[in-house]
Amino acid sequence: MQEKFFLANSSLGQHRIAYTEWGEASARPPVICVHGLTRNGRDFDELARALADQTKVYCPDIAGRGKSDWFADPAYYTYPQYIADMAGFIVHIGAATVDWVGTSMGGIIGMLMAAADTTPVHRMVVNDVGPFIPLAALKRIGTYVAATTEFADTKEAETYMRSIYASFGKLSDENWGHLAAHGTRVLPNGKLALAYDPAIAQAFLSVDKDVEFWDAYDRIRAPILLLRGMKSDVLPADVAKEMTQRGPKAQLAEFLRIGHAPALMDPTQIGLIKEFLFA
């Protein structure tokens, strides 16, 4: 695994997008793994390690998260900008086609990219998100995204994460330690905070209705493996079912005792993804 970065563009100028790179080039398309709203590319270490024996795997930190730059103007934390950044990233790595694994926000970015008439997306794993997101779920997420909690150390941060991310499922102590170690940043006062710009919450706080983009979903032609936590409020059961019946007609896999979103650290989850991408 190597940590790298590339320079993406916006009307504010250039900004650094950090990413980790795994494996060696092969005849298969490389896999791009894109994280959820408040997370970062290191969430995918277990999955990337498992996929890297057959192809290159890239795990970027979307702007405002992880080790990527923050925008001076929070108005740039938008899907058009994220899509432009990822399109530039695909050019940067020199790939004609890619396979995509996207959790929550990363799944939305992937679906919107895959809906384009000319898209590099070959196959997709969409993790616990769909083209209809209830307002109640968005409001719930917004309540913790805007928090500016400080922690004395990584252990204290881990305890907090175990609480707010309990819906990820039954993770090992090692998994939780990994999420805490890579999901925090050091503040000037020496304390820790979560590794994202709290200003990303502004878009959530202004939402006043359900979000839907079925028209884009119906244009997707790439095969989709849809993963869903059976307790998820972001991807309701009826929306997941509809995704299997229209557009690309996703293949659905659901997980008991998990909400939003499966952490993709479990061997069963990893095995399903590997089988789908490399079939």
According to the model, what pLDDT value does residue 20 have? 98
Q: Which residues contact 52 (CB under 8 A, 6 or more apart)?
A: 22, 23, 24
pTM above 0.85, yes or no: yes
The kind and range of the H/E element at 125 are strand 121-127
Gap between the Cα atoms of 212 and 240, Å rounded: 13
For residue 16, what are the β-bridge partners?
Answer: 7
Q: What is the CATH number of domain 2-131+212-277?
A: 3.40.50.1820
According to the model, what pLDDT value does residue 279 have? 84
Q: Which of 212, 227, 238, 213 has its CA nearest to residue 260? A: 227
Domain ranges of the chain: 2-131+212-277
CA neighbours closer than 13 Å in the CB half-sphere of residue 212? 11
Q: Which residues contact 29 (CB under 8 A, 6 or more apart)?
A: 55, 95, 97, 98, 99, 122, 123
According to the model, what pLDDT value does residue 65 have? 98
According to the model, what pLDDT value does residue 146 have? 81
According to the model, what pLDDT value does residue 195 have? 97
Burial class (CB in 10 A: 0-12, 13-18, 19+), 131: buried
Gap between the Cα atoms of 42 and 59, Å rounded: 7
Segments in the chain below pLDDT 70:
none
Q: Which of 213, 30, 11 has its CA nearest to residue 109? A: 213
| Helix, coil or strand: residue 60 | strand
According to the model, what pLDDT value does residue 141 have? 86
According to the model, what pLDDT value does residue 142 have? 82
pLDDT digit string, tens, across residues 61-84:
999 999 999 999 999 999 999 999
